[in-house]
Amino acid sequence: MKVGVIADIHSNQIAFRACVDYMVNAGCEEFLLLGDFISDTAGARQTMELLYELMEQFPCHVLRGNREEYMIEQRKIREKEEEEKFWLANSASGNLLYTYRQLTERDLDFFESLPITFRYEKEGYPAFTCCHGSPVNTRELLQLDSDRTKEVLEEIDTDYLLAAHTHFPGISRYQGKTYMNTGSCGIAIGDPGYAHAIILESGQNEWKPEFLRIPYDSNQVILDIFTSGLYDMAPWFLNNNLHILLTGTDLTPELVNLAAKLQEENDMGAKRWPHIEEKYFAQAADSLKIPDYTFLRYIRPAVKEDTGKILELYHSMIGGAAGWNEYYPGIDTIESDLSRNALFVMENEDGELLASISIDADEAVDSLKCWNQTLLPGAELARLCIRKEYQNKKLARMMMAYAMNVLRKQGKRSVHILVHEGHEVAMRAYMHLGYEKVGECSLYDMRFVCMERAL
């Protein structure tokens, strides 16, 4: 018997659908759904519809997380007309307000009907205690091997504890009992572009977990954040969420706590949550090095009509450290990239081209022996180009992240880059993005440093 376990979807219906499809194809007969279905990305309505659809098609055991509790609490606040506690369109609560507006009374009634814990039992198999945070509190974080987790394992009357909320998947054991955490389906920490979940397979005396990493179209999730209007309702909170989706680095507690602290220090505590001014979120984000990802809304696949602008951008880099000249990269290179749907550009609101990047198809590069054979298939990123006046604004990081998400969607496991020998600035930048120097080579009468990273 196989049971699918999904939690912390956070309105990412694309990741949710990828998990469900994978699990159904793998033969899952039942599902355990452990809360935090909504908020933080744009697909709350679609997520709820998929959840209801799944419940109609399979036996599902569902509980609520802290995000569902926030929605229940906000409805009560609005019923009591406690206006000072209403969510606002700002980075403190705009994300939650956007989600609340996507929900129906049916959804809120459904959330209120859900338990925060349940016991999952199948005749002939060991029982599970299931929860979102802990069996007594949806907001409690049970980290692997922590003292509190050990206390909970001692308190429960089953040999298995299954929880979520931390966004860190894994398994630990204590005094003959087993704790498993699903990780996050929708906003995985440390693993951008992948949804985390578990398939439990029954053995004679134990449940055997398969921890899943399922690729999904995170570029579409990012695009939806902008096109839906969610980003504009909570810009700095969503910059943080985009940072997680793109890099895997979660700075949410640090961001919200620092913004509140800055307001308290500067306004002497005159305003309370959610009445936190945007300038304090901006200051907090700057301190934590969370980029302003506004330009991401303007990254797209290049089209034939962009050819002239791309060539002009390339020519503006002639004489630089990359070693480009009037012949390379040229029209032929652009046309080749366009024919393979492998060229991406960033523009501003005025249509000015700011940056470009390509996924190359160079057999001479791909066949180099320095690439890690355990990370195949891989692909090369090339011709990363940022207009000079926009350099040092993290546009290169955004272009790289976008292209790497395209490669993940294609099933690639690694990405490699050739850096012109002596281009120390580029090498340092790539190393900061997780690339490692794996070798050197001579191609096209030039010397290159070979750099690679896993996707």
pLDDT per residue, tens digit, the chain (455 aa), is 999 999 999 999 999 999 999 999 999 999 999 999 999 999 999 999 999 999 999 999 999 999 999 999 999 999 999 999 999 999 999 999 999 999 999 999 999 999 999 999 988 889 999 999 999 999 999 999 999 999 999 999 999 999 999 999 999 999 999 999 999 999 999 999 899 999 999 877 789 999 999 989 888 899 899 989 999 999 999 999 999 998 899 999 999 999 999 998 888 655 688 999 999 999 999 999 998 888 888 899 999 999 999 999 999 999 887 889 999 999 999 999 999 999 999 998 888 999 999 999 999 999 999 999 999 999 999 999 999 998 887 788 879 888 988 898 798 999 999 999 988 888 988 887 789 999 999 998 889 999 999 98
278, burial (CB in 10 Å: exposed 0-12, middle 13-18, buried 19+): middle
166: tokens are 């931390």
The CATH number of 296-454 is 3.40.630.30
Per-residue pLDDT at 268: 67
260, 276 contact by CB (below 8 A): yes
Rounded to the nearest 5 degrees, what angle is found at the Cα of 18, between the Cα atoms of 17 and 19? Answer: 90
Q: What's residue 451's pLDDT? A: 97
**CA–CA distances in Å: residue 330 to residues 233, 314, 327:** 42, 8, 6
Reference 15, options 233, 253, 210, 245; nearest CA is 245
Dihedral of alpha carbons 410, 416, 419, 425, sign: positive
Contact call for residues 211 and 168 (beta carbons, < 8 A): no
Check residue 269 and give its pLDDT: 58
Token couple for 176: 């003959």
Question: What CATH topology corresponds to 2-215?
Answer: Purple Acid Phosphatase; chain A, domain 2 (3.60.21)
Amino acid, res. 47: T
- Predicted confidence at residue 346, as pLDDT, reads 95
Q: Tell me how far apart the terminal alpha carbons of the chain are, to the nearest angstrom.
A: 32
**Domain-by-domain residue ranges, the chain?**
2-215, 218-292, 296-454
Task: Report residue 125 as tokens.
Answer: 């198999």
CA proximity to 374, closest of 427, 335, 314, 414: 414
Q: What length does the chain have?
A: 455
Token pair in block for residue 185: 């389906």
Q: Give the per-residue pLDDT at 143.
A: 98
Q: Which residues fall within 8 angstroms of residue 67, CB to CB, at 6 or more apart?
A: 10, 35, 36, 37, 38, 39, 40, 99
Per-residue model confidence (pLDDT) at position 225: 96
